[in-house]
């Protein structure tokens, strides 16, 4: 398995175009099967999770092929409703195919999904939402057998604003008779992007981005082309990297509004940040200050996916910063690896306290999960000497080519 080698101590300078969003394209890929025809996705990132979704689509009988930089899906010949265990285990987002398959075919057989080991992430909310639409769900030994018959639109009140449950409910509701209202829906920008895609193929969905989403099901669909939104967590990663290493960078094809909580923390830490129509620029001298407590929360709160990344940026800051992780209980698995580099981090339950140190040192470290791996890259840029990051398959689930991007910004990084 390849490793990422980073030589620390270089300032970051330059301009980088942000890749398409992982957390948008995965539900969009599932949604392509709702339309029995052809869809073209522009700006689709080449990620291992995207390739896993492509394998699922092909297993279901769809064509899914890269044509240059575009991904073309033709779901006209969808002829299966099952996703085998080995494909489901490759990523957590595989469960999003459940609602889409039910919308198109009326039944589905899947096993429980895999993904990063961030603690219990039950899909009870997903299944409860589907049952409200009239889906009969049988759970046997880790397998799900779902039969929809003829789904009817209903009001679905989520007890928590779960992103996955909101997306699955939206997709399933596209195949239900009448109107479905999802109350306490998640408000993430990626759900707005899913709505945008569904409307592009002819579905009637409105309200995404608010806490109430309305879907009018069983609409006639048509072929479409669609451009995936930029990845706000990738943007947060490279902004944090430049903040910690020092320098001046501009990110293009990014929505500044989606980064507001991250950029607010970086500004408080001492960075100068400017947002344009589709750009964001950051200037930093690398001498950061601690910031007020960072508490993760559903959007528009501070994103759990950026918690480890900001933590890595503040390892050499003046003072101490408190992080409170409210979404996943195992989000601090990266901390032991950061400590190998000289970080001073103490943990008690869901609270982590980062006390800034004067120096970090390059070391052999291991990516424990996707965002933890990104945090190691950020820390490595500010460390003395060489850092070797292994288990990079986690990182490649969400970053198309992190070495290419870091080198574009002037970092000394390579694959080995």
- The Cα 186–Cα 299 span in angstroms is 7
* DSSP line for 166-197: HHHHHHHHTTSBSEEEEET----HHHHHHHHH
Q: Which is catalytic among the residues 44, 116, 146, 271?
A: 116
In angstroms, the Cα distances linking 29 to 21, 180, 187 are 12, 22, 20
Contact 211, 161 (CB under 8 A): yes
- Alpha helices of 174-318 — where are they, by DSSP H? 189-200, 232-245, 260-268, 307-313
- The Cα 61–Cα 56 span in angstroms is 9
CA dihedral 245, 251, 256, 262 (to 10 degrees): -20
Q: 196-204: long-range contacts (C-beta < 8 A, 24 or more apart)?
A: 196/226, 197/28, 197/31, 197/224, 197/226, 198/31, 198/34, 198/170, 198/174, 200/224, 200/225, 200/226, 201/31, 201/34, 201/35, 201/39, 202/35, 203/34, 203/174
Residue 302 tokens read as 């501070």
264: Cα within 13 Å, side-chain hemisphere: 12
Residue 55 tokens read as 């394998």
In angstroms, the Cα distances linking 64 to 21, 22, 39, 56, 401 are 19, 17, 10, 10, 22
| Active site (annotated) includes residue 116 | yes
User: What three-state secondary structure class fits 37?
Assistant: coil
Of 305, 411, 325, 346, whose CA–CA distance to 23 is shortest? 305
Contact 151, 135 (CB under 8 A): yes
Residues with catalytic roles: 116
């Amino acid at each position: 398995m390849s490793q990422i080698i980073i030589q620390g101590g270089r300032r970051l300078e330059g301009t980088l175009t942000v890749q398409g969003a992982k957390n948008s394209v995965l539900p969009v890929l599932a949604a392509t099967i709702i339309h029995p025809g052809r869809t073209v996705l522009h700006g689709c990132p080449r990620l291992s999770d995207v390739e896993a979704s492509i394998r699922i689509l092909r297993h279901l009988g769809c064509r899914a092929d890269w044509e240059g930089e575009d991904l073309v899906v033709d779901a006209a010949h969808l002829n299966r409703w099952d996703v085998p265990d080995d494909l489901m285990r490759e990523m957590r987002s595989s469960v999003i195919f459940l609602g889409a398959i039910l919308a198109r075919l009326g039944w589905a057989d899947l096993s429980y999904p895999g993904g990063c080991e961030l603690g219990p992430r039950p899909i009870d909310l997903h299944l409860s939402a589907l049952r409200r639409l009239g889906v009969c769900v049988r759970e046997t030994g880790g397998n799900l057998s779902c039969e929809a018959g003829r789904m009817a639109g209903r009001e679905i009140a989520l007890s928590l604003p779960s992103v996955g449950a909101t997306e699955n409910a939206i997709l399933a509701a596209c195949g239900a008779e009448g109107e479905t209202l999802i109350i306490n829906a998640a408000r993430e920008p990626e759900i707005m992007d899913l709505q945008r895609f569904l409307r592009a193929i002819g579905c009637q969905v409105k309200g995404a981005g608010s806490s109430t989403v309305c879907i009018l099901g069983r609409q006639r669909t048509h072929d479409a082309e669609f451009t995936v939104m930029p990845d706000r967590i990738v943007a947060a990663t490279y902004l944090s990297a430049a903040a910690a290493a020092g320098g001046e960078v501009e990110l293009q094809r990014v929505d500044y509004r989606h980064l507001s909580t991250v950029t607010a923390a970086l500004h408080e830490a001492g960075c100068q940040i400017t947002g344009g129509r589709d750009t964001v620029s950051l200037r930093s001298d690398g001498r950061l200050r601690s910031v007020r407590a960072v508490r993760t929360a559903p959007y528009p709160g501070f994103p759990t996916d950026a918690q480890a990344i900001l933590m890595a940026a503040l390892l050499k800051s003046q003072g101490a910063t408190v992080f409170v992780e409210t979404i996943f209980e195992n989000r601090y698995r990266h901390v032991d690896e950061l400590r190998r580099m000289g970080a001073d981090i103490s943990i008690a339950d869901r609270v982590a306290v980062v006390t800034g140190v004067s120096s970090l040192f390059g070391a052999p470290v291991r990516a424990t999960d996707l965002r933890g791996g990104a945090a190691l890259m950020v820390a490595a840029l500010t460390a003395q000497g060489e850092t070797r990051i292994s288990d990079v398959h986690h990182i490649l689930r969400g970053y198309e080519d992190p070495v290419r991007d870091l080198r574009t910004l002037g970092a000394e990084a390579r694959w080995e």
